[in-house]
Amino acid sequence: MDIVRRVHSMKETSRQVRAKGRRIGLVPTMGALHEGHLSLIRRMKEMADFVVVSVFVNPSQFGPGEDFEAYPRDLPRDADLCASLAVDVLFAPEEGDLYAEGACTWVEVEGLSSRLEGASRPGHFRGVATIVLKLLNAVQPHVAAFGQKDAQQAILLQRMARDLLLDVEIVVLPIVRGEDGVALSSRNVRLSAEERRAAAAIPRALRAAEAAIETGEREPAKVIEAARAVLEAESLLRVDYVDLVDTETLQPAASMEGERLLSVAVFAGRTRLIDNTVITV
Ligand code: AMP
């Protein structure tokens, strides 16, 4: 496995791989890899002939007071994991290559970026869309994989690819969970044992909403309430939001007809956790 640190060498590698007619797949990550990331990589090995995993903790998607500095980083471990999965290139670019001095161009996916996570984290998706476009330009993949764990991100990036006529297929892959049902996240390492136990209320809250629907509930506010009640019963969690939206527009669901995204964000101590489920009645 090659570790590539410069954008110009990544572009040259991709040019040569493409010239051989091989299909390039990209899995963008912020590192501190866990089984969720590895599931994306394994699936990508089936979809592409040449797999690139990028590791870059993108400063522009963190707001002031968020955890950019404290975000877990362990490139040697990430490299070992990628090598063990026969990844072709670990692309770990230098910040100065991705944000050259004076860079002033940003991608804004209007509307979608101001809902849910975007409402709680202003500017977050401007950072996400911009860095993903830069990574796509550096790697030139035929296909790129993202996790359903970050459902809004996946929806927004698919829209960006469509709106900007990008020549890449965006695939969205299922959430990987721990034995307690908690969605795997690089931030989970920062949870204390009590916080981790409390976090198990998050998947339980999603299941409670699904159970309400199974027993006939059709009022969006009541479905939200079923999830919120489970979260609020857990004193170590502080609810940021529980929202039920249309999966295409991310606008609040007026009914349960059509595909719905139930999305939650909570704080366990200082750690912010998100999770979601897609509901089709
Ligand atoms: P991150 O490193 O957190 O930016 O995540 C990189 C990619 O992995 C994103 O597309 C995430 O949605 C995806 N991902 C993160 N956690 C999980 C998980 N538990 N299951 C599946 N995909 C995940």
**Rg, the chain, Cα only:** 19
Per-residue pLDDT of 126-157, as tens digits, reads 999 999 999 999 999 999 999 999 999 999 99
CA of 155 to the centre of ligand 1 (A): 14
Q: What is the CATH number of the domain that holds 232?
A: 3.30.1300.10
Domain that holds residue 241: 186-280
Q: What is the CATH number of the domain that holds 164?
A: 3.40.50.620
**Gap between the Cα atoms of 65 and 189, Å rounded:** 19
Last residue of a domain, one of 151, 173, 195: 173
Alpha helix (H) ranges present in the chain? Answer: 7-19, 35-47, 75-84, 95-98, 117-120, 124-139, 151-163, 193-199, 201-214, 220-232
Using CA positions, which residue lies closest to atom 19 of ligand 1? 184
Residue 181 lies in a domain: no
Domains in the chain, number: 2
Per-residue pLDDT of 72-122, as tens digits, reads 999 999 999 999 999 999 999 999 999 999 999 999 999 999 999 999 999
Mutate to test the pocket of ligand 1, among 27, 37, 75 (most ligand atoms within 8 A of CB): 37
Per-residue pLDDT of 195-222, as tens digits, reads 999 999 999 999 999 999 999 999 999 9
Whether residues 152 and 192 share a domain: the answer is: no
Residue 161 lies in a domain: yes
Catalytic residue among 8, 34, 37, 142: 37
Note the pLDDT of residue 47: 98
